[in-house]
Amino acid sequence: MLIDLHSHTTASDGQLSPKELVNRAENRQVHMLAITDHDTVDGLLDAKKAITDNKLNLTLINGIEISTNWLNHEIHVIGVNIDPSSIALTSLITEQKEKRQARAIEMGLRLSKANIPNAYEGAKSLAGDGAITRAHFARYLIQIGVGSSNKKIFQHYLSKGNTGYVPHHWVNLDHAISIIHQAKGEAILAHPTHYNLSNKWIRSLLSSFKSLGGDAMEVAMGQQEPSKRLQLALWSNEYGLKASQGSDFHFVGQWRDLGKSLALPDITTPIWIKWPIFSQLTKSIG
């Protein structure tokens, strides 16, 4: 059974609409898919509707990826099986949306001082009604020829210490975990190896995440060295966190795809193992 618990749509910085995303997931024979847009649940309704209308053989897990602050690091936390209408979650989303908006305007100002005008307007028009992210700025900067790849644009303009970087003010990690729990969901630490942290710091993060009530951590991601996956699996056991897997799909590219190259090492405890929906699916498809 193919399970993918991390993906994005046009509700944030993904390039497929919720409807296109669920269709692609079904085509790729994913059985269970979480949509986890950055600080928003806006894509979930359309995705659900597309599944029902087209009778897709796909179970949607309601999710979100929340940007948080931990000791001044930007750490992403995924909530799965959340109630999207939870009042606590809704008010957190409103707060984060305002922060994203203010940060985007400030990024535009900083970039214009560096002789790159209209970056806010360009990014905003790419984001449309969706949550505006640095990925939209990157796409705009590539469009106008400032750089040739996402990687370079982040390296030179958008990551910490660069011209277009604005210090973040995201919600604290402990608060995000508590809000996910109030919304009846489970909290997963996203991509622990993507924060530019040394192993010592990753361990410290895992230990904090666990002691703050975190439930699981991502162990299997697309595009990952087997030794790294195994290391994460060992850590998930050591820190008593369940294991999750997700592609972090944003667009159709050469390497990443929904459900692609995702499998948890046997030593882990998958986060979905006790989910009623998982037993039902196991019974129906084996």
Binding site for ligand AMP (CB under 6 A): 13, 38, 67, 133-135, 150-151, 154, 250
Q: Which does 260 bind (CB under 5 to 8 A by kind): Mn ion, ligand AMP, none?
A: none
Residue 134 is a binding residue for Mn ion (CB under 5 A): no
What is the closest distance, in whole angstroms, from the C-beta atom of residue 251 to Mn ion in the complex?
10
How is residue 254 annotated by DSSP?
S
Question: Which of Mn ion, ligand AMP, none is residue 99 near (CB under 5 to 8 Å by kind)?
Answer: none
Nearest to residue 178, comparing CAs of 145, 204, 211?
211
What residue has token string 């109030």?
Answer: 182
Give the contacts of 77 (CB within 8 A, at least 6 positions apart): 65, 66, 68, 173, 176, 177, 180, 187, 188, 189, 190, 214
Site mask for Mn ion (CB under 5 A), range 243-282, x = bound: -----x----------------------------------
Q: What per-residue string of b and e applies to 231-268 under the rule 16 or more CB within 10 Å gives b? A: bbbebbeebebbbbbbbbbbeeeeebbbbeebebbeeb
Of 76, 103, 110, 210, the one binding Mn ion by CB under 5 A: 76
Minimal distance, residue 13 CB to Mn ion, in Å: 4
By a kind-dependent CB cut-off of 5 to 8 A, residue 134 interacts, out of ligand AMP, Mn ion, none, with: ligand AMP
Which residue's CB is nearer to ligand AMP, number 112 or number 150? Answer: 150
Residue 13 binds Mn ion, judged by CB under 5 A: yes
Closest Cα partner for 11 from 120, 166, 135, 195? 135
Query: Which residue's entry shows tokens 């060992």?
Result: 234
Chain residues that interact with Mn ion, rule: CB under 5 A: 13, 65, 76, 190, 248
